[in-house]
Amino acid sequence: DGKPRAGRCCSLDDVYDARRVAEDLGFRFYVLNLEREFQKTVIEPFIGSYLEGRTPIPCTACNTFLKFDRLLSFARQVGLNRVATGHYARVRKDPEDGYLLLKGRDPAKDQSYFLFELNQEQLSRIQFPVGDFEKQEIRRIARNSGLATAGKKDSQEICFIPDGDYAGFIQRHAGRMRLDFLPVLESIQEGGPILFKDGAVLGRHTGVHRFTVGQRRGLGVSHQRPLYVLRVDPQRNAITVGYREDLYSRALTAERVNWISGRPPNATIRAGVRIRSAHREASAAISLREGRNGSGLFAEVRFDEPQMAVTEGQAAVFYQGDRVLGGGWIVSRIPDSNE
Active-site annotation, residues = 62, 159
How far is the C-alpha of 220 from the C-alpha of 222, rounded, in Å?
7
Which residues, at least 6 apart from 322, have a Cβ–Cβ distance to it below 8 Å? 90, 102, 103
| Contact by Cβ (8 Å): 116, 260 | yes
What is the identity of the amino acid at 274?
Answer: R
- Measured in degrees and rounded to the nearest 5, phi and psi for residue 241 equal -125, 160
How far is the C-alpha of 284 from the C-alpha of 282, rounded, in Å?
6
SS3 content of the chain, % helix, strand, coil (to 5): 30, 30, 40
How far is the C-alpha of 261 from the C-alpha of 207, rounded, in Å?
41
Residues 79-90 as b or e (16 or more Cβ within 10 Å = b): eeeebebebbbb
Least Cα distance to 125 among 72, 74, 85, 87 occurs for 72
Dihedral angle sign, alpha carbons of residues 48, 54, 59, 60: negative
| Contact by Cβ (8 Å): 241, 227 | yes
- Measured in degrees and rounded to the nearest 5, phi and psi for residue 147 equal -80, 135
How far is the C-alpha of 13 from the C-alpha of 11, rounded, in Å?
5
| Contact by Cβ (8 Å): 269, 105 | no
How far is the C-alpha of 209 from the C-alpha of 47, rounded, in Å?
9
- Measured in degrees and rounded to the nearest 5, phi and psi for residue 98 equal 75, -145
What is the identity of the amino acid at 316?
Answer: A
